[in-house]
Amino acid sequence: MTLDITTILVLFLLNNLLITALLAVSFRGRRTPTTDLWIASLAVQTVAWILFVARGKIPDSFSIILAASMLSLSWAMLTDAFCEFFEFPLKRSWIYFPALLTLAAFWWNLDNLANRNIFGGLIFSAQYIAAALIVLTRSDKWRALRTFIGITAVVMAIMLFARAAIAFHAPATIPALNVASPFQTITFLVGDAARLALSFGFLLLIEAKRSDEITRLATLDSLTEAYNRRTFMELAERELARARRYRQPLGLMFLDLDHFKKVNDTHGHLTGDTVLRQIKKVAESCLRQQDVFGRYGGEEFCVLLPDTDLAGTQILADRMRKDIENFVLRLDDGTQLRITASIGVSAVPAGVDNIELDNLIEYADLALYQAKKQGRNLVVAENMAEPTLAMA
């Protein structure tokens, strides 16, 4: 099958312009370095294809050397967009080296079509392999999309490497880019399909990450990244229903940092924010995977403990209290800051199904009040079966 190359290149141009416009409109008002790089990559590639279409009507230095270099530059920008998206830790200046290498290789081989096909195939193939490695070696929840994008890049790399190998062993097999042939047709069709797959695959990946970020902001406290109050209450209602269904106990603790206002007044609110973040880490280190940790408000946190009775909740609360007491926050000026916490605990006994979440919270809050009243840095428990206070 042989198609007219000019027609294919025009379709390339139209596809590129359409995708570039679509991305520009889609990300209007919420552009990021990732989207800017991707849109710029498509724009540069569009210019490259315009130069290719104009071959024979403009000097070869533009339609061959500059066009190939800009094509390499567009793929470098695509790879840079992947690095930006996945927060690749290394310096990224090396990504643009192939564009310079392409410029030099095509400049020195302007009159040697076979060498241009060899160097172009090898350089472009290496660029796609680099992009594939960056995408496939990341670790996140979007594995299916990453695999799709990575395999697409690998297919392109294989095709371009094959083109270089054929040009090396049988130079006459691959004509100039603007000359129609079955191999040329396959190259362009696969390239166009791969470009569409990469663009829309990456677009879906960006949107998936954005959706997860919106969900994270809606469910987590922005400062400590613990569950926010609304989410904690929803999870608590769910756990309480499960405890009733399986007739299991459910523990709750309310944790309040002692004299936290003094920390803000003495060391500033930025230090206070650091304290909240660090205490959250200390507290979570005491918990099991199934336990639910949330920020209830201000310097007050709450912990839900599935399958845990009052005695077990007290034991865990006291362990957490001691870990917080032993934690030392070293400030930039060398000051060592120590924090203590008062904790109130309550629990729904196993087999009891007439206790509501408001009751559980009320008892834990009352116990916390007593812990504060009795001198702070204490764990106080309220027995919901027999509502009398006992200091742990």
> Rounded to whole angstroms, how far apart are CA atoms 84 and 78?
10
pLDDT digits (tens, 9 = 90+) for 256-291: 999 999 999 999 999 999 999 999 999 999 999 999
Is the full-model pTM beyond 0.85? Answer: no
Residue with tokens 């605990």: 345
Specify the pLDDT at position 1.
59
Q: CATH number of the domain at 5-218, out of 1.20.1070, 1.10.3470, 1.10.150, 3.40.109? A: 1.20.1070
Q: CB neighbours (10 Å) of residue 20? A: 19
Tokens at 320, concatenated: 């957490």
- Mark the ranges of the chain whose per-residue pLDDT is less than 70: 1-5, 176-180, 385-392
> Rounded to whole angstroms, how far apart are CA atoms 368 and 362?
10
Phi and psi at 294, nearest 5°, equal -140, 160
Specify the pLDDT at position 386.
54
Q: Where are the domains of the chain?
A: 5-218, 229-391
Specify the pLDDT at position 68.
94
Tokens at 233, concatenated: 């209450």
Specify the pLDDT at position 234.
95
Phi and psi at 382, nearest 5°, equal -115, 120
Secondary structure (3-state) at 302: strand
State the amino acid at position 327 in one-letter form: F
Specify the pLDDT at position 385.
64
Specify the pLDDT at position 292.
95
CATH of domain 229-391: 3.30.70.270
Reference 4, options 180, 190, 176; nearest CA is: 180
> Rounded to whole angstroms, how far apart are CA atoms 100 and 76?
11
Specify the pLDDT at position 76.
95
CA 188 from centroid of its chain's CA atoms: 33
- DSSP conformation class of 171: G
Residue pair 368/378 in contact (Cβ under 8 Å)? The answer is no
